[in-house]
Chain A
Amino acid sequence: MSLSFESYVQALQKEVDVLAGVSPDAPLSGLPQWDSLAILLVISHFEHAYKMTVTGREIRQCKTIRELIQLIPQS
C-alpha cells in the first residue's frame, strides 16, 4: 500500500504540533520550536504509523518536511 505524499504530510502534521500549517518545502531550521521535543514526536510518529526506526541524526539532517517524508520506505 502506498499513500499519497499529501496524506503522509497530513499525518505528520497531526502528530508533530510544530509542523502544523508549515509548507512541505519550508526550511525546518527557521521554525522556532523545531527542537529536541519535536524530534521525539517525529520518532514516535514514524514508529507507530510505519513501524520504522528513525534516528535523531537522520531527522536533524532533513531540511524540510518533504525530506522527512522521504525517509519513509516506499513499498
Chain B
Amino acid sequence: MQITLSHFRLAGLAVSTGADTRDYIKDGLAHGISLAHLERVAKTIGLKERKVASPGVTALDLCEDASRRLLAAMDIDVSTIDAIIFVTQTPDHSQPSNSCLLHGRLGFSKSSFALDLSLGCSGWVYGLYQAGLLCAQGGVGRVLLCSGDTLSRLTNPQDQSMNPLFGDAGSAAIIERTGLNTPWYFLLGTDGKLASSIIVPAGGSRTPASGETRKETKNADSNIQHPENLIMDGAEVFNFSLREVPAAINTVIKNAAWQLSDVDALVLHQANKFIIENIATKCGLKSAHVPSNLVEKYGNQSSASIPAALIEGLGEKLTSRSQKIVGCGFGVGLSWAAFASEMGPVITCPIQPYPKK
C-alpha cells in the first residue's frame, strides 16, 4: 500500500536500552567459539557490544522510562496526549495490552485511545503511520508512540548464530497534529507466505508452552535451539531484505518527487551493518548519510532501532533543522514499511540505559 499523509509532525524522540552490556568476542570465547571465527563475524556484520535488559525489566519498563524522559524534556503534561500506540511482540502479558498498562502507569486521561501493534522490526514505521493517520483525520492532537522488545530473551543462550545479534530497547516518540501540509510518503507491505522465516514456533495458542517445547535440538549449523526460541532463516531474510527494501525506498523517493541526491539521510532498521550496506548500495544511496554502526553498540533493537538511529545516527542534524529523510523498517511478518518526509527539528533525549547505573 502506498499512501501520502500530512498535517502531522514527529516532535520528539527518546530511547532507553537494557542496562547490561554483553561483549561479542568475550561471550563467544566463553562458549568455546574460536577467536578467528568471532573476529571474522564481528568485522563482516559489525558486532561488538550490545545492551540487554536486566532480569525483571521488560519492554514496557524501557518504554515507560523513555516516555517519562521525553515528556519531561518536552514539558508535556499527559493530559494533553490523546492516544498511545505501543508496538511490541514481547508484551508483559498476552492480556491486557502494553498500551493499556502504560496508560495506567503514566496516568493518561480516560478518554484516550490505547492500541498495541504486534510487529517487530518494521513496527516503528507502521506505528508512525498509525499515529499520523490519527492526527491527519483531525480528532487527535498528540500521540505517544512507543516501540520496543526484549528479543535477547527469546534466543537460545547457546545459539551462537542468533543470540549475539539482539539487544533490548524501548523507544518513545511524540507525534503532533500541525497546520502544515508537509507530506509524508509511506509504503507499507507484507509477505505472509514467508512468515516462518522469522518465528517463535511455540509458546502461543497454536502450540502452547510445555515440557516438550523446551526440548533442545541442534539445527543444520549445529546451533542449539528449542521451539520457544526465536529462530530465523538468515539467507531467506537477506534475500527478502534485498528484494523488498530497496524497491520500497526507491518508490517513496519517487513519490516524493526527489532525486537520490536530495536525500539527506537514509535511516534503516539497524539489523546489522552488512544488511544496511547491501541495501544502501542496491538503492543507489551509498553516498547519502546512512547510519549503520548502532548495532555494534546496542545490538539489533527490533522496533526501537529506527528511533535510536535517528537520535544517535543523525545527532544535531535532526535536532537543529529540517532534513529530507527516508526510512525503512523490515523483518518479522515478513513485513516492511518505508517513509520519505522532511522532518525536524526534533527534540531528542540521549540514548540511555535503564535502570541507570
Interface residues of A (CB under 8 A from B): 17, 33, 35-37, 39-41, 43-44, 47-48, 53, 55-57, 59
Chain B residues near A55 (CB-CB < 8 A): 235-236, 239
B239 and A53 within 8 A (CB): yes
Does B105 have its Cβ within 8 Å of any Cβ on chain A? no
**Docked pose: A43 CA to B242 CA in angstroms:** 10
17 residue pairs of the A-B complex, CB under 8 angstroms, read: A36-B161, A36-B234, A37-B41, A39-B235, A40-B234, A40-B235, A41-B44, A43-B238, A43-B242, A47-B278, A47-B282, A55-B235, A55-B236, A56-B233, A56-B234, A56-B235, A56-B238
Chain B residues near A53 (CB-CB < 8 A): 239, 242-243
Counting from the closest, the 7 A-B pairs by CB-CB distance are A56-B235, A36-B234, A39-B235, A44-B278, A40-B238, A36-B221, A47-B242
Does B40 have its Cβ within 8 Å of any Cβ on chain A? yes
Does B281 have its Cβ within 8 Å of any Cβ on chain A? yes
A33 and B282 within 8 A (CB): no
Does B45 have its Cβ within 8 Å of any Cβ on chain A? yes
**Docked pose: A17 CA to B174 CA in angstroms:** 45
Main SS at interface, chain A: helix
Chain B residues near A59 (CB-CB < 8 A): 235
* B33 → chain A closest CB, angstroms: 11
Name 15 extra pairs, CB < 8 A, besides A39-B235, A47-B282: A36-B235, A39-B234, A40-B235, A40-B274, A43-B238, A43-B239, A43-B242, A44-B274, A47-B242, A47-B278, A48-B281, A48-B282, A56-B233, A57-B235, A59-B235
**Docked pose: A43 CA to B239 CA in angstroms:** 8
**Docked pose: A41 CA to B40 CA in angstroms:** 12
Interface residue total, chain B, C-beta cutoff 8 A: 19
Closest to B219 in A: A36
* A50 → chain B closest CB, angstroms: 13
Closest to B234 in A: A36
Does B215 have its Cβ within 8 Å of any Cβ on chain A? no
* B 108-147 to A, binary, CB cutoff 8 A, 1 in contact else 0: 0000000000000000000000000000000000000000
Chain B residues near A35 (CB-CB < 8 A): 221
Closest to A56 in B: B235
Closest to A59 in B: B235
**Docked pose: A21 CA to B243 CA in angstroms:** 31
Chain B residues near A17 (CB-CB < 8 A): 40
A43 and B235 within 8 A (CB): yes
Chain A residues near B281 (CB-CB < 8 A): 48
